[in-house]
Structure 1
């Protein structure tokens, strides 16, 4: 039967502490008064020490980590709809370099972009995967060489983005200690450089 937790009390931990206290009391009976007092004082300090705080869900952010052009990026999974493998892209004449082309997703046209030009680097032309992102619906595809993992990251492991990165856009929210650039999905989707008129009138 699993150990119960009631009102935040960890019964397994409480039982373990009581057992240690009883063991200490038994040991104290065989020690000299001075040594017994020393042992009991040490145990009392241990029992008074609060248990380590558990890391709660609010301290974690779930992200998809993906790689492009030698750089690792991360985006909250709440903006990620799916990952496409080697989708066929149709280039648009006269489109900005970051717009790699259009693809069809269940009958809907989806613009696919590469973020590297926004960081001052040339288009890599790489990317065997496309992350389909959006708010409530598929809005944009992000090129990636590989989607490495979906993982939970402690918020306290994130650092403010350096000025040079922050100037790229307000969607560069932070940077992980390992160098991963964290992207803020809502701001990314609202960046005018990543909004394209793909209607018949806009393409004319």
Structure 2
């Protein structure tokens, strides 16, 4: 098989409020079941809280809330996708993860020009796969630079508190 890996994208496909999304697997460290999230007083509004992942403190955001949608109702299908973007590690809570999918870059179309608003800033494109639309999230845009710094600082502070 002589496929050119540059021409394809490997995605983690997940559900969020009845829509199907994908995120480049290159940013995904792991996927875990929703666990107890500890709220942090004074944390930015986009941070749901933190989790302890094998001794490492990871900030978690409710991705639906981040995109301006109603917050997620946690169920047995809820997952936290642990991502690393620009030096910041964070968990993105989603309604469920369905698969890992390879698709050709040619099957990705830019978002329609009429798509506007907060969530449009996070989109990389839209792909049609077997009659279903998959909205491609750009993981590098989910957090602005200053938010990445806040996430890193939040993790550091919580780790320091728990070490003392």
Specify the SS of the correspondent of 2:22. strand
* CA shift in 2, pair 1:86/1:118, >3 Å: closer
Q: How does the TM-score come out when normalised to structure 1?
A: 0.62
- The 8 Å contact of residues 20 and 135 in structure 2, kept in 1 or not, is answered as yes
**Count of residue correspondences:** 151
Question: After TM superposition, which residue ranges in structure 1, 4 or more long, deviate above 6 angstroms?
Answer: none
Q: What does the per-residue CA deviation read over 1:20-78, in whole Å, with 9 as the maximum and x for residues that have no partner?
A: xxxxxxxxxxxxxxxxxxxxxxxxxxxxxxxxxx7632221111101122121111111
Q: Which residue of 2 aligns with 1:130?
A: 80
Task: State which structure, 1 or 2, has the greater radius of gyration over its C-alpha atoms.
Answer: 1
Specify which structure has the higher proportion of strand.
2
Specify which structure has the higher proportion of helix.
1
Q: How does the TM-score come out when normalised to structure 2?
A: 0.74
User: Would you say 1:179 and 2:127 are equivalent positions?
Assistant: no
The runs of 5 or more residues in structure 1 that have no matched partner are: 6-53
The runs of 5 or more residues in structure 2 that have no matched partner are: 159-164
The CA deviation at 1:193 is: 4.5
Note the aligned Cα RMSD (angstroms): 3.1
1:1-204 map, 5 Å: 56-126=4-74, 128-135=78-85, 139-163=89-113, 164-165=115-116, 167-168=118-119, 170-177=121-128, 178-193=132-147, 195-196=150-151, 197-198=153-154, 199-200=156-157
Specify the SS of the correspondent of 2:48. strand
